[in-house]
Structure 1
Amino acid sequence: MVYLVTFHWGWLLASLLLGFAMGWIAVVQRGQGVSRVLARWLAGLAAALVAAAVARVIPGRPGYWLDLGLIMFAMYLAGCAVGSWLRDWVVSRPKPAA
């Protein structure tokens, strides 16, 4: 894992910044969300992929790509969370006193 971060730090930083930008934009765009069934299916898929990476079920280069993809996805989601929180904090206006 440390090797992935050391060798691919530029790609990880790019995925973090892309997530930050998408999180910043997502506050403005209030589109349709995914259904509960699809959200549960996607969460199960993500859990299965993380379990496969931790158990090292996929050997060789595909396992390396899986590990790298999961780290990049985690960095992207962290950037999305920070970007949307920061946008909400910057744009929000104080509520008028009643």
Structure 2
Amino acid sequence: MAYLVAFHWGWLAGAFAIGLAMGWVAVVHRAPGVSGWLTWLLAALAAGLVAATAACIVPGRAGYWLELLLILFVPYLLGCAIGTWLRALVVTRSMRQRSAA
């Protein structure tokens, strides 16, 4: 894992930047949410992939790509969360300034 972080730090930073941009844009998007059963299915799939990586079930090149996928997913999700939080902060601040004026 440390090798992946040391070797792919640029890609990790890129995943974070894309997540930041997507988090900023996602607040504006008004699509219907994901249903409850699909959320549980996706969570089970993610947990299964993490368990397969932790147990080293997938060998060779496929295991390498699986670990890289999971390691890139973390900064992407972190960037999405921070981008959404920043967008909400900016929108809240601008709404307060409009109501005060």
TM score, norm. by length of structure 2: 0.90
What do residues 8-58 of structure 1 show as CA deviations (whole Å, max 9, x unaligned)? 011111111000000000011121111111110000000000000111110
Question: Does residue 1:7 correspond to 2:7, yes or no?
Answer: yes
Structure 1 runs (4+) deviating above 3 angstroms are none
**Secondary structure in 2 matching 1:34:** coil
Find the aligned partners of 2:76 and 2:59 in 1 and give their Cα distance.
25
Question: Does residue 1:69 correspond to 2:69, yes or no?
Answer: yes
Question: Does residue 1:50 correspond to 2:75, yes or no?
Answer: no
Aligned residue identity for 1:94: R
Aligned sequence identity (%) = 57
Find the aligned partners of 1:90 and 1:56 in 2 and give their Cα distance.
43
**Secondary structure in 1 matching 2:29:** coil
Structure 2 unaligned spans of 5+: none
Find the aligned partners of 1:30 and 1:84 in 2 and give their Cα distance.
14
Find the aligned partners of 1:74 and 1:31 in 2 and give their Cα distance.
24
Question: Does residue 1:83 correspond to 2:50, yes or no?
Answer: no
**How far 1:91 moved relative to its partner?**
1.4
Structure 1 unaligned spans of 5+: none
Matched residue pairs, number? 97
More helix by share: 2
